[in-house]
Amino acid sequence: MGLKKPGAEFFVPLTSLNMFVSMTMQNLVERFPDQLEEAISIFRATRLREPSQPFTNVVIAGLGGSGIGGTIVSDLAFNSSPVPVTVTKGYFIPAFTGAQSLVIISSYSGNTEETIACFEQARSKGAHIVCITSGGKVADMAREGGEDLLLVPGGMPPRSCLGYSLIQLVGVFAAYGLLHPSALNDVTDAASALRSTQHDISAAAATLAQNLHNRVPVIYSTTHLEGVSIRLRQQINENAKMLCWHHVIPEMNHNELVGWAGGDSQFAVVLLRDPDEYERNNFRIDINKNIIIQKTDNFFEVTAQSPTAIGKALWLIHFGDWLSVKLADLRGVDAIEVNVINYLKNELSKK
């Protein structure tokens, strides 16, 4: 990966889409390690524009399966980025956005109306724009305006393509000094590890799914894994068609923990853990567990298996994706179907 002169264009040939047409969500989850490696190849075939001036902030615009990568990469960059990173999941970008802003537009379909609105605002403010999409209006706008365009394979549910979009974000962050230069190498190592342990991850997820079936999942993590927790919540929502919620430690110790006075066995806690967690958070977790198990025996811990921060996030994401499809199987629902979202988009298109 290198930098290119402002205004230059590039095009990344996409993987053939024929193989994706008849895939189930489980098939797509199985391909996650392959997707990570393909995503690295896509990014390394690109040359980003050289910024005309140093960035003073980063804004990532995207929603749903296209936007969660922004939340996760902002967590990963918390201890490395020299400038603030803001993720917006609506129609507007922050007022501080300007010519020294890096704005990353992430829309898998390329037609997400909220993200397109953010794109137009960023352009009007003279921001440095990088687009991540499979096509649609975002791709057309980027070509017309000379913005950087990272094209990923299309034709799949956006939530099944996090590997493509997240790794483009990791690459952009590493290229501009917001993440360590070795970040993509860490992804390569993580993909290999996930492939070699996929059977064990799937089996463990199936066991946990049995324990969550007919219960309300409550997902907890510490702050630096919140993006991963949100991803799990979203996957359970969309794939398993279940309601659940998430919160983070230590913030939930100042509010939600009191709410467990009304807890009972209908709730099942899933705690996402980092083996290298800050010691004070580990102490808090122990206290939280002692309080919560007074109300429910359904308390389950899932510990990331990787030596790197990116590897831990990817391991937990993959485990969570498997968990969501196993829950879908137990509930007898189609993990790919999202008719209610399609209805919403159709209604919005009428005005």
State the catalytic residues.
238, 254, 345
Nearest to 126 by CA among 70, 53, 71, 47: 53
- Please give the sequence-ordered ranges of beta strands (E in DSSP) within the chain, or none if there are none: 2-4, 47-49, 57-61, 85-88, 101-107, 128-133, 148-151, 216-222, 245-249, 267-273, 299-303
For 26, 68, 166, 206, 247, the CA distances from 227, given in Å and listed in that order, are 22, 7, 12, 22, 11
Residues 150, 170: Cα–Cα separation, whole Å: 12
Nearest to 108 by CA among 59, 179, 166: 166
Residue 293 Ramachandran class (φ > 0 left, ψ -120 to 50 alpha, else beta): alpha
Q: CB-based burial of residue 197 (10 Å sphere; 0-12 exposed, 13-18 middle, 19+ buried)?
A: middle
Residues 335, 29: Cα–Cα separation, whole Å: 11
Angle, CA of 256, 91 and 74, to the nearest 5°: 55
Straight-line distance from the first to the last Cα atom of the chain, in angstroms, rounded to the nearest whole number: 42
Q: Name the amino acid, one letter, at 309.
A: A
Q: Name the amino acid, one letter, at 117.
A: A
Which residues on adjacent β-strands are paired with residue 102? Answer: 58, 128
